[in-house]
A and B are shown apart, each in its own frame.
Chain A
């Protein structure tokens, strides 16, 4: 089955700096790669996703890149703000069931004011 590795497990940055979280996956059949943000006591919330026919996608301060050859994808957050502090999860899935996801272990991002 699919295996997703996520690094780093914790990331601490100053407000205004950029943050990068990286994930690798093992199953070359995976074709959907979402990123979820989880705040304390809440369920995860989708912040951005990318499909395998696209190499990069941006949404305001957030971008995701995908390298299918190397089987890795990354989340980039620019101009970080304290409210970006949360746990971020990458995930991967394949086939027709986009919701049957294999998640990474999560990254605790702390943005210091």
Chain B
């Protein structure tokens, strides 16, 4: 596609359930990022995938959060045993790593509501 695609756009779940959020980056972009945006707040870095290197997981808030990137393309962010404080918009971004400007191209986000 032309841009970063995220699904679902909205997800409502009950406390304690697991959720999966999907990101399809721009074709050819080797770097992929997940950020979290809580209501009225700035963006918080979660995790970063760079080519075939081990991901930088330094922003994940707890071990209930995990992410994977298969085949260097699509990524899935998984939140286990969701809590109400997990409610936020989860944004995915991709960028060119070599020869790029550093610009992140963001998707429109997945809005997660935990009841």
Chain A residues close to B by CB (< 8 Å): 4, 6, 32, 34, 36, 41-46, 49, 89, 91, 97-106
B56 x A105 contact (CB < 8 A): no
* 5 A–B contacts, CB within 8 A, in A order: A4-B42, A34-B102, A43-B109, A99-B33, A99-B95
A97 x B108 contact (CB < 8 A): no
B31 x A99 contact (CB < 8 A): yes
A103 x B48 contact (CB < 8 A): no
Which of A32, A45, A97 has most chain B Cβ within 10 Å?
Answer: A97
Question: Which chain B positions have C-beta within 8 A of A32?
Answer: 102
Which of B4, B41, B45 has most chain A Cβ within 10 Å?
Answer: B45
Is B43 an interface position by the 8 A CB rule? yes
Instruction: State whether A46 and B4 are in contact (beta carbons under 8 Å apart), knowing that A99-B31, A101-B43, A106-B42 are contacts in the complex.
Output: no
* Alpha-carbon distance between A4 and B41 when the two chains are bound, in angstroms: 12
Question: Which chain B positions have C-beta within 8 A of A4?
Answer: 42
Which of B40, B42, B101 has most chain A Cβ within 10 Å?
Answer: B42
Smallest Cβ distance from A46 to chain B, in angstroms? 5
Smallest Cβ distance from B88 to chain A, in angstroms? 14
Query: B residues 46-60 with Cβ under 8 Å of A?
Result: 48, 50, 56
Instruction: State whether A101 and B108 are in contact (beta carbons under 8 Å apart), knowing that A43-B4, A43-B93, A106-B42 are contacts in the complex.
Output: no
A43 x B91 contact (CB < 8 A): yes
Instruction: Name the residue of chain B whose CB is nearest to the CB of A89.
Output: B42
* Alpha-carbon distance between A8 and B58 when the two chains are bound, in angstroms: 29
Is B65 an interface position by the 8 A CB rule? no
Instruction: Name the residue of chain A whose CB is nearest to the CB of B109.
Output: A43
Is B115 an interface position by the 8 A CB rule? no
* Alpha-carbon distance between A44 and B44 when the two chains are bound, in angstroms: 13
Q: Which of A43, A46, A102, A103 contacts B103 (CB 8 A)?
A: A46
Instruction: State whether A43 and B48 are in contact (beta carbons under 8 Å apart), knowing that A99-B93, A105-B41, A106-B42 are contacts in the complex.
Output: no
Instruction: Name the residue of chain A whose CB is nearest to the CB of B31.
Output: A99
* Alpha-carbon distance between A4 and B42 when the two chains are bound, in angstroms: 10
